[in-house]
Structure 1
Amino acid sequence: MKTATVGNLGTVLVDGKGRTLYLFEADKSTSSTCNGGCATAWPPLLTTGQPSAGGSAQSTLLGTTKRDDGKTQVTYHGHPVYGYAGDTKPGDANGQGLNQFGAKWYVLGADGNKVDKS
């Protein structure tokens, strides 16, 4: 996980391929509530080891959580982290502010908080 400037959203978290990362407001703890069809549209950022931070991403905010399927998902500042299937290339943020699967989705800033430019 690292940071990149994405459109008018500023510096946000991205995965190793430069794709924008999101938080889901329905997640009230480090446990993910996005499974099944939700996880297809909003793929969780998974890891098999300790996640690492680059750019202005803070390694002290990184963590992991076990998903319902037994896989390990990356967390950042207590938020399970997701990509968005509608983002096709680095720099896309098509999921920003969408209300899907019961709550809103927001790009995740390097400080670990949602980026809301509305």
Structure 2
Amino acid sequence: MGVGRVPRETLGELLRALGQNPTQAEIADIVSSAPREVDYKTFLTILNRPDGFKPAGTPGAYYFSPLHLTLFDKEGNGFIGAGELRYVLTQLGEKMTDEEVDELLKGVQIGPDGNVNYESFVRTILSQ
């Protein structure tokens, strides 16, 4: 029989198990403001917070949106440097590891100038 409380460190897993898709930053915020042991009433407040249930779509559809990558397309030609793409994926937002980026870039065509067509990159990633 349980004690009617859960450790705050498990909140991210619980929210995801119940259909939410919080970012790591949102989880950090929630955990930092939650009591060490979260009771049912407090958990319901967290679960029903504004914007708690966002349409998730596919994970990659949001993360790999071409709209995000247009910010790094300095020339407006649909291409960004492979090194810049690696930087974006490993240093900004939900950070990926170098190994994860290496795996993603395996099937991506990098031009002789070192650039990647980011729309093609996104289509390739989302089709996997």
Give TM-score scaled by structure 2 length: 0.24
Q: By percentage of residues, which structure has more strand?
A: 1
- Which structure exhibits the higher relative contact order, with contacts defined as CA atoms closer than 8 Å and separated by 6 or more residues? 1
Normalised TM-score (structure 1): 0.25
More helix by share: 2
Higher alpha-carbon Rg: 2
